[in-house]
Structure 1
Amino acid sequence: MRHFLLATAGFLLPLGAPALAAEPVQGPPNPSPAASDAESAKAPAKKSEWEFKPRWRLQYDFANVSGPAGLAGTGHSEELRRAQLGVDIKMPGGFSARVEGEFTADPIEFVDAYVAWNGDGINVTAGQQKFFTPLDDMTSDLNTSFTERAALVTAFNFSRRTGLSAGYAKGDFQINGGVSTDPLIQLDDVDDNSQAAHIRAVWMPKFGKTNVHLGAAYHWKHRQDSELVPVRYRQRPLVHSVETRYIATPGLLAEREQTYGVEAAAVNGPFHFASEAYWQHASRDGASDPTFFGAYAEVGFFLTKGDSRPLKGGQFGAIKPKKPLDDGGIGAVQVNARYDYLDLNDAGITGGTQKGYMASIIWSPTSWMRLMAQYARLNYRDAAIAVAGDRDYGVDVVGARVQFTY
C-alpha cells in the first residue's frame, strides 16, 4: 500500500503544483515600432506541425477470492496493476507516433511503440500495436466495465504484436487488416517467431438516438516454435492479483491457431449493451484439433443525468462526466452487469468451463480519476484445480480499483 501512495503522490504533485510567477523586469520603454513591425506583431504565430503530449496511467487493485475450504488461491491480494508512461507525437504530413512503457514489468516492457499515417479515410501503422482484437480488448483498459476484460480475451491469448496494419473508414463502415509477428520483447530469435494475419470489419450505424456497433474478426497464426513451446488456454478468476487459474488446458503443441468471432454493441443515452462470441481453433500434427469457445453479454446504466458511454471508431471511449466534481457536480456513476462464459473442453482436452455472473459500480468524479468496485460469482465444471477430488465448485470474487490517468 505504501508503494501505491508514493506512486500516486509522485504523479499528482507535479500536476497540482502552482507555477511560480516571474517578477517583472524594469527597463527603458521601447520605442514605437514601425508600421510593418506593428503588423507583424499583430499577426498570430503559426502553430507548429509538431506536437508532443505526455501520457500516463496508474491503477492499483484490491481483491479477495473465497471458495471451498482448502482451495488454492483464495484470500486477500493487492497489486499495482499498471504504471505506464509514454508520449504521443504529432508530425507533419499526417504522421504520428506513440511510445509507452509498462513500469510494473521487470524488465520494463513496451505497451505501444508505433508510427502511423492517416489521410483521407486511410491509415497505416507500423510497430507494436493491437491487431483488431475483440471489442472488449480494443477498448482501453481505462474504460472497461470491470477491472479485467472478458474471459475469452485472456484465455485466447489476445495481446499486442509487432507488425504492419492498414485500415479504411468511410461513413458507418471501417475495415482493418494486418500481418504481425511476436511482441517486441519476444523478438530474440527470428527463426522461432510466429507469423500471423488479422482482419476486422465493423459497421456502426445510428438508428434514431441509438448508436449501434456490429463487427466480425478473423485471426490466423503459425507458431514456429510449436514443437518447443506448448500453448495454454487459461484464465484467472476476474482479478489479476492472483496467479491461480481455476480453468486451464494442459500445454498443447499447436502449430497453427485460428480465432474468429462476432461482436455487437449499442448505446442509447445512459444505457449500453455489449456482447461477443469467439472460437479458438488449435491445429496439432498427429493429434486432435480442439475448438474452444468464449462469449459474454453485458448491460450498463448511468445513474447520473446526462452521462453516456461513448461508442465510436470500433471501441468504447473514455467517460467524461457531464458535471464533474471540480465543477460543482458529483461526477458520473455507472452500474454494470455481465454474464461471462468460457468452455475449454473439446476433442479430448479437458480445461474446464466457467459461468460467471458479475456486477460492478464505477464512480468517475472527473475525467482523470476512476474508482471501481465489483463482485463475481464464478461456477466451474471440470476445473483444473481440484478440492478434495472435486472439480465442480464455485468461487466468490470481490475486487476494487483506484485509477488515475492523464
Structure 2
Amino acid sequence: MRKLFPITLFAASMMAGMASAQEAPKTDAAAMEELKAQLRVMQERLQSLEAKANAPVPIPIATAPVAKTQAAPATTQIKWENSPRFTEASATFKMRGRLLVDAVDVNVDRETGPSYKSRQYRARQLFLGAEGQVGSWAYRLEGGAANGSGWAWDDAVIEYRMKSGMLLTVGNQKVGGLENLTSIKTITFMERGPFGDLTDNGFVLAAQATKVGRNWSLRGALQGDSINKADVAAGAYNVNNAKERSGVMARATWAPVMTPTQTVHLGVSARYREIGGETPFTYSAAANTAYRAQNSAGGVLLSTGAVGKGDKTLALEGAWTRKSLSLQGEVAKIRVDRIDTSRSAANGGQDFDIVTGYAMASWFPTGETRPYSAAGQFSRIKVLHPLDKGGRGAYELAARYDFADLGDMKANTATALTNQPGLATAGTYKGLTAGLNWYPCSNVRFMANVTKAKINNRAIGALENDAKVTLLQTRMQIEF
C-alpha cells in the first residue's frame, strides 16, 4: 500500500505535465529539454514521496478513559426461618423467641402426714432474643420470664470461629449432657427429670472451646456461676470470703453410625466444681416437672439440703435412632465433697455418692426422624406433612424411666438426727412417664405428659416422707 501511493502521485504528475506540454506548440529541441526538466522534477518528487512512505508512521496510542467503578449498593437478603433472617455481605441478624404455656396437676399421696394436691396454669417460659453474625464473630442473646419469676437470661454469649474451625464462646452457656444441650424446645418430654435436676448442668458464665468433626465433638470450659446471680459482698460461712463458685467441665462425643436414617451416639462428660464462698450445693429433684411446689411448704420430696462444698460428676450418654424410632439414655455418678460439721452441724458429714439416670424411647407413627448433628445434639424435627399444607402434622409417642439414689448420704454425730433435715428426704426415686406430642408444623407443638413416681425416704423417728406422686401436665409451645 505504501508503494502504490507514490506511484499513483507520479502517474498523476506525468499526466499533468503532458497536459501542460500540449497547451502550446514548441520546437522539437525546446520540447525535449522541457520534457527532461519535468522528468527530473518528477523523479525528485517520486524519491521524496517514497522516503516519506517508507518512514515509520507513529501510531498514536489512545488512552481509554478509565471508568470510575462504583461499588454496587449492598443487597439485603431476607430468608424466612420462622422469623426473618436478614443477611448483608458477611453480617446476619435474626429475632428469636418462644412461648411455653403449661397446665400442671399434682397429686401427692404420703405414707405419713397429709396428702397434697395442686393445680396451676403457668407460663413455663416467655422468652425473646436475637442472634447474629459479623464475619467470624457471632452472638446469641435470649432471656425472659420462667415459671412466673422475674426476667432472667439463658443464652448470652459471644462466639469467635477460628480458621481451624474451633469455636470459642464466652458468656452464659451450657457445656455437657445430651438432653441438657438439646433445647427445651426440642427435648421429647416437657422436662429433663431428676437426672437434669441433680446434675445441675444449667446456664452459667463460662469460657468454652468447641471442636466438631465429621462425626465427633470435643468441648471444654472454665465455669463460674449464672449471669443472673446478683453480686454479693459477704460469703455464706465466712463473711470475708465472697468468692464465686468455679469449675471445669469437658465433654466428648462420637457417632460411629451417622446416616440420614440411622444414628448411634456415644458420649462422656466430666465436671469438677467448688462453692468458693457461696452457699453449699443442694441436690434436689422433682417428679419430672419444673413445678416445684409438691408439698404444702412449697418444696420437693427428694433433697439432701445444702450439703456440698464441691463435687465431681462423671456421666455417660448414648442414643440410637433408626428412621422414626429413637432410644436414648444417660447415667451419672456425683461424688459430693460434703461440708465439715464445724461449718454446719445440720448439713455436714462424710462425703457420699449420688447416682441418677434415665432411659427413654420415642416413635413417630407419621414417619418423622429426630435430626442429629455431629456436635452431639438433637434438633427440631421437620414435619413431613404440616397442617397448613393439607397434612395432619406429626405425632410422637414416648415413654421414659427415671431413677435417682441419694441414700448414700449418712448421718453425722455432731448433732441429733432430728436436727439433720436433709436425711429425711435423701432417699430414692423411681418414675415412669408417658408422653404424647403433636406438631402441627415444625415450630408449634402440643404436649401431654403423665408421670407416676415413687419416692422412698428413710424414717427419722416418727417422720416418714415416702410418697407416691401422680403428675399430669400439658403444654402449648410456639417458637421462632
| Conserved 8 A contact 1:249-1:384 | no
Q: Which residue of 1 aligns with 2:282?
A: 232
Q: Which residue of 2 aligns with 1:6?
A: none
| Conserved 8 A contact 2:193-2:289 | no
Structure 2 counterpart of 1:330, one-letter code: R
| Conserved 8 A contact 2:284-2:305 | no
Shift of residue 45, structure 1, vs aligned partner: 7.5
Q: Which residue of 2 aligns with 1:97?
A: 139
Q: Which residue of 1 aligns with 2:417?
A: none
Shift of residue 249, structure 1, vs aligned partner: 1.1
* Structure 1 unmatched runs, 5+: 1-35
Q: Which residue of 2 aligns with 1:279?
A: 333
Shift of residue 143, structure 1, vs aligned partner: 0.8
**TM-score, normalized by length of structure 1?**
0.83
Q: Which residue of 2 aligns with 1:352?
A: 427
> Cα RMSD over matched residues?
2.7
The correspondence of residues 26-105 of structure 1 with structure 2, limited to 5 A, is 47-68=88-109, 71=114, 73-92=116-135, 94-104=136-146
Q: Percent identity?
A: 26
Shift of residue 48, structure 1, vs aligned partner: 2.4
- 2:351 counterpart SS class: coil
CA offsets 1:340-387 (integer angstroms, 9 cap, x no match): 00111114064111101111000000112100001111011107999x
Work out the CA distance in 2 between the residues paired with 1:248 and 1:242: 12
| Conserved 8 A contact 2:193-2:286 | no
The correspondence of residues 123-272 of structure 1 with structure 2, limited to 5 A, is 123-130=167-174, 132-186=175-229, 188-189=231-232, 191-206=242-257, 209-226=261-278, 229-244=279-294, 245-252=300-307, 254-272=308-326
Shift of residue 118, structure 1, vs aligned partner: 2.1
Shift of residue 207, structure 1, vs aligned partner: 6.2
Structure 1 stretch displaced more, 58-67 or 83-92: 58-67
Q: Which residue of 1 aligns with 2:372?
A: 311
Q: Which residue of 2 aligns with 1:391?
A: 465
Structure 1 counterpart of 2:446, one-letter code: L
Structure 1 counterpart of 2:406, one-letter code: L
| Conserved 8 A contact 1:324-1:331 | yes
| Conserved 8 A contact 1:353-1:383 | no
Work out the CA distance in 2 between the residues paired with 1:186 and 1:56: 22
Shift of residue 393, structure 1, vs aligned partner: 3.4
**CA 1:331–1:289: 2 relative to 1, 3 Å:** same
Work out the CA distance in 2 between the residues paired with 1:42 and 1:116: 28
Work out the CA distance in 2 between the residues paired with 1:45 and 1:391: 62
| Conserved 8 A contact 1:79-1:241 | no
Work out the CA distance in 2 between the residues paired with 1:107 and 1:347: 34
Work out the CA distance in 1 between the residues paired with 2:467 and 2:149: 35
Shift of residue 337, structure 1, vs aligned partner: 0.5
Match of 2:156 among 98, 109, 113: 113
| Conserved 8 A contact 1:338-1:357 | yes
Structure 2 counterpart of 1:281, one-letter code: R
Matched, 1:323 2:385: yes
The correspondence of residues 292-311 of structure 1 with structure 2, limited to 5 A, is 292-305=354-367, 307-311=368-372
Work out the CA distance in 1 between the residues paired with 2:74 and 2:155: 39
Shift of residue 41, structure 1, vs aligned partner: 8.6
**CA 1:265–1:234: 2 relative to 1, 3 Å:** same
Q: Which residue of 2 aligns with 1:336?
A: 398
Work out the CA distance in 2 between the residues paired with 1:83 and 1:269: 33
- 2:332 counterpart SS class: strand
Aligned length, in residue pairs:
364
Work out the CA distance in 1 between the residues paired with 2:183 and 2:332: 19
| Conserved 8 A contact 1:136-1:150 | no
Work out the CA distance in 1 between the residues paired with 2:129 and 2:183: 15
Structure 1 counterpart of 2:285, one-letter code: Q
Match of 2:476 among 367, 391, 402: 402
| Conserved 8 A contact 2:395-2:436 | yes
| Conserved 8 A contact 1:352-1:383 | yes
Structure 1 counterpart of 2:220, one-letter code: G
| Conserved 8 A contact 2:101-2:125 | yes
Q: Which residue of 2 aligns with 1:22?
A: none
Matched, 1:375 2:450: yes
Structure 2 counterpart of 1:247, one-letter code: L
**CA 1:41–1:315: 2 relative to 1, 3 Å:** closer
**CA 1:255–1:75: 2 relative to 1, 3 Å:** closer
- 1:125 counterpart SS class: strand
**CA 1:177–1:328: 2 relative to 1, 3 Å:** same
| Conserved 8 A contact 1:220-1:259 | yes
Structure 1 counterpart of 2:282, one-letter code: R
Q: Which residue of 1 aligns with 2:440?
A: 365
Structure 2 counterpart of 1:267, one-letter code: T
Q: Which 4+ runs in 1 deviate beyond 6 A?
A: 39-46, 383-386
Work out the CA distance in 2 between the residues paired with 1:43 and 1:162: 37
| Conserved 8 A contact 1:73-1:242 | no
**CA 1:383–1:158: 2 relative to 1, 3 Å:** farther
- 2:179 counterpart SS class: helix
| Conserved 8 A contact 1:247-1:384 | no
| Conserved 8 A contact 2:109-2:115 | no
Shift of residue 74, structure 1, vs aligned partner: 2.0
Shift of residue 308, structure 1, vs aligned partner: 0.8
CA offsets 1:216-262 (integer angstroms, 9 cap, x no match): 00011121125xx232111122222342311111221x222111110
Work out the CA distance in 1 between the residues paired with 2:391 and 2:315: 41
